[in-house]
């Protein structure tokens, strides 16, 4: 089978997000970059599906030239092919992103044949627009279900599990299909040394990204205000235990 | 000029976040209509009226007897075409976001997810959350009908009596949309979950191993709570992802969150910030979790937690 995974390069902030002086971007001067954990799991799932059923996996991203790093990371854990849709900024609006990804997929499928399964993250880590995968699937006239935490494949049919407040929902799809994956579907492996060396050599295909602006345009980023709390120190080490238990009683947790 | 609220429900059981969406809708326009999909939801009209819906458009169709993102999204798209509201909004839950994204794709309109405020003009100025709530984005929204979801907890549900008059709306759904309807379910046994527990004992990387969670389990059990963890823990395979608190895990809202050996990265914090009180146990007095917590103990969790358990048992005699 042929599986495609779409990932987005995002900064990896730690304790705090700092914004650039113009308010238009995250200050990434001291930050590493990554993809959403949902997408990391989608990549791992693609690799596992190919290990189990045979075939070929491809990773695709629309982003700055530096997003090459995220493509090669996916290759280092076992994805076979990589495609970059280079853009001049860190991101495009979700409609525009979806349109560009759709036409790239159509182009790839016209020469190489259709993907049986396309995996997206449930939502991107930074923007969290909750829509790029849905728009692409609709444009390709393929079914999509989001929030997937389990996939079983049997010939052309696919069973996908999703968690809800009430329990687990099961969806039964026929491929070609598209799924939005959530972290927890698997435990992503770490790249091996051999995998890392191999990923340096793969050729990253380039597709020109072309699409019209969408109706949602970012104006600025603002830090969400957090009330400054004065932390009450209950003490140091095990000697603090009586103070902690006093607190548990005071809060009505220990009755 | 009306705002249409797409009501989330599970086979007739109303999602509480839908009432927040109704409250949000009332801040946008005085005339609020609701849309319920499937016969099972007909019984919700009275409650939706109590929360401000003047009219409740009810859609009945064989393909709407259970949840299916495509059948629901297509129904919303047809309702928007028929009713021409200024805006159609739903709640920023997994289903709400998915259904509105489906509707947006079908209508070829923009869709803004997880909005916390709207100011209207020709072009709307919208504020939404990014990074699961750590960052806000101001954006413009240009569209004939503005499609959005409202972020959880941004608006408080409140009563505002309106007629809640039921009205039938007909949709035509292609039989092929059956392809994404739920085909099977495993119902969860009722009980306390990470999301609903009044007490959570959270462990981070510093716990060190799967076995080393035993003292946290013991303390949580003693207090009638549950154990949670950071992504460092799930990534190491020490605990299942269902225990992960954070942006890509579960959002918790207990009376007390005891965060042990957790640094407090923003992606963890957004999942914990709805806790009423937070107690951090950490060797590092400068850790982000310590500065953000209400209470802190500076020390080694492997010594502090057993001491707390011993003190509880001592007081109980
Ligand atoms: C897009 C994205 C999404 C993410 N989603 C999540 C998410 O949902 N949930 C999540 O948790 N993380 C998430 N992360 C990861 C997050 O950024 C952090 O890497 C993670 O939360 C760190 O876990 P930790 O606090 O256990 O480990 P660390 O950051 O390593 O912190 C360990 C802490 O333990 C303290 N310590 C050390 N020894 C002891 C001791 N003996 N006793 C007491 N304290 C001690 C240290 O001082 C330190 O504060 C996400 C990251 C990204 C990029
Ligand atoms: N720039 C991008 N390049 C490739 N895939 C993307 C991009 N943006 C979003 N996606 C995919 O679409 C999913 C949903 O993104 P979003 O709609 O932004 O929440 C992500 O988890 C990715 O799988």
- Ligand 2 site residues, Cβ closer than 6 angstroms: A 6-8, 36, 38-39, 61-63, 91, 94, 97, 101, 120-121, 123-124, 127-133
CA angle in degrees (0–180, nearest 5) for A121-A124-A130:
80
Instruction: Among A173, A180, A254, select the one facing B179 at the smallest CB separation.
Output: A173
Picking from A102-106, A211-215, B6-10, B186-190, which range would have the lowest pLDDT averaged per residue? B186-190
Q: Does A165 score more than 90 pLDDT?
A: no
**Per-residue pLDDT reduced to its tens digit, B165-216:** 999 999 999 999 999 999 999 998 878 899 999 999 999 999 999 999 999 9
Is the ipTM value over 0.85, yes or no?
yes
Q: Which of A97, A33, A18, A24 is nearest to A61 (CA)?
A: A97
Q: What is the pLDDT of residue B2?
A: 93
Q: What is the pLDDT of residue A189?
A: 97
Q: What is the pLDDT of residue A238?
A: 98
Q: Does B309 score more than 90 pLDDT?
A: yes
Best residue for ligand 2 mutational test, from A66, A86, A103, A124 (most atoms within 8 Å of Cβ):
A124
β-strands B9-10, B55-59: how paired? unpaired
Cis bond upstream, residue B14 (ω within 30): no
Could you tell me the pLDDT band of residue A197, with boundaries at 50, 70 and 90? Answer: very high
Is B248–A135 a contact, with Cβ atoms under 8 angstroms apart? no
Q: What is the pLDDT of residue A169?
A: 97
Could you tell me the pLDDT band of residue B73, with boundaries at 50, 70 and 90? Answer: very high
- 8 A C-beta contact, residue B90 and residue B83: no
Q: Does A227 score more than 80 pLDDT?
A: no
Could you tell me the pLDDT band of residue A224, with boundaries at 50, 70 and 90? Answer: confident
Query: Is there an atom of ligand 1 within 6 Å of A122 CB?
Result: no
Q: Mean of the per-residue pLDDT values for chain B? A: 96
- 8 A C-beta contact, residue A13 and residue A127: no
Is B312–A248 a contact, with Cβ atoms under 8 angstroms apart? yes
β-strands B226-229, B199-203: how paired? parallel
> Mean pLDDT, to the nearest integer, of B132-138?
94
**Per-residue pLDDT reduced to its tens digit, A45-99:** 999 999 999 999 999 999 999 999 999 999 999 999 999 999 999 999 999 999 9
pTM: 0.97
Strand-pairing partners, residue B309, are none
Residues in B closer than 8 angstroms to A231, CB to CB, are 280, 290-296
**Per-residue pLDDT reduced to its tens digit, B80-121:** 999 999 999 999 999 999 999 999 999 999 999 999 999 988
Q: Does A152 score more than 90 pLDDT?
A: yes
């Amino acid at each position: 089978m042929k599986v495609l995974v779409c990932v987005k390069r995002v900064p990896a902030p730690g304790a705090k997000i700092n914004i650039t002086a113009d308010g238009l971007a995250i200050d990434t001067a001291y930050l590493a970059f990554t993809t959403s954990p949902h997408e990391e799991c989608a990549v791992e799932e693609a690799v596992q599906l190919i290990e189990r059923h045979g075939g070929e996996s491809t990773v695709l991203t629309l982003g700055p030239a530096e997003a090459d790093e995220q493509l090669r990371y996916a290759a280092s854990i076992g994805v076979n092919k990589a495609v970059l849709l280079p853009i001049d900024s860190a991101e495009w609006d979700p409609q525009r992103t979806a349109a560009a990804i759709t036409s790239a997929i159509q182009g790839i499928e016209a020469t190489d044949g259709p993907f049986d399964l396309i995996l997206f993250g449930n939502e991107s880590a930074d923007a969290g627009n909750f829509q790029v995968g849905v728009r692409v699937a609709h444009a390709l006239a393929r079914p999509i279900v989001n929030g997937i935490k389990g996939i079983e494949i049997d010939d052309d049919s696919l069973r996908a599990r999703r968690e809800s407040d009430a329990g687990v929902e099961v969806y039964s799809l026929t491929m070609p299909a598209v799924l939005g994956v959530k972290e927890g579907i698997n435990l992503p492996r770490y790249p091996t040394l051999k995998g890392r060396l191999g990923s340096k050599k793969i050729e990253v295909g380039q597709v020109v990204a072309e699409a019209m602006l969408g109706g949602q345009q970012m104006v600025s980023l603002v830090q969400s205000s957090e009330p400054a709390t004065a932390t009450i120190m209950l003490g140091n080490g095990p000697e603090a235990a009586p103070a902690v238990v006093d607190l548990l009683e005071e809060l009505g947790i220990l009755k | 000029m009306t705002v249409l609220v797409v009501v989330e429900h599970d086979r007739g059981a109303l999602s509480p976040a839908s009432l927040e969406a109704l409250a949000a809708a009332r801040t946008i326009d005085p005339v609020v209509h609701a849309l319920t999909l499937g016969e099972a939801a007909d019984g919700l009209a009275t409650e939706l009226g109590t929360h401000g819906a003047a009219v409740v458009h009810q859609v009945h169709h064989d393909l709407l007897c259970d949840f299916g993102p495509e059948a629901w999204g297509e129904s919303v798209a047809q309702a928007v075409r028929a009713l021409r509201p200024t805006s159609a909004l739903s709640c920023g839950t997994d289903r709400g976001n998915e259904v509105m994204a489906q509707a947006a794709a079908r209508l070829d309109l923009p869709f803004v997810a997880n909005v916390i405020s709207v100011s209207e003009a020709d072009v709307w100025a919208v504020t939404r959350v990014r990074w699961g709530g750590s960052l806000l984005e101001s954006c413009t929204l240009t569209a004939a009908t503005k499609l959005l979801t409202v972020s959880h907890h941004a608006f408080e549900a409140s009563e505002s009596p309106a007629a809640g008059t039921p009205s039938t709306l007909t949709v035509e759904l292609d039989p092929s949309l059956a392809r994404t309807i739920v085909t099977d379910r495993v119902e969860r046994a009722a009980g306390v979950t990470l999301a609903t527990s009044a007490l959570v004992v959270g462990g981070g990387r510093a716990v060190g191993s799967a076995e080393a969670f035993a003292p946290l389990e013991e303390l949580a059990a003693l207090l009638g709570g549950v154990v949670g963890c950071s992504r460092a823990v799930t990534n190491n395979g020490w605990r299942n992802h269902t225990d992960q608190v954070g942006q890509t895990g579960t959002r918790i809202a207990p009376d007390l969150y005891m965060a042990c050996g957790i640094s407090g990265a923003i992606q963890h914090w957004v999942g914990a910030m709805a806790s009423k009180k937070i107690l951090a146990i950490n060797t590092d007095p400068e850790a982000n979790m310590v500065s953000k917590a209400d209470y802190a103990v500076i020390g080694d969790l492997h010594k502090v937690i057993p001491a707390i358990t011993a003190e509880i048992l001592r007081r109980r005699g």
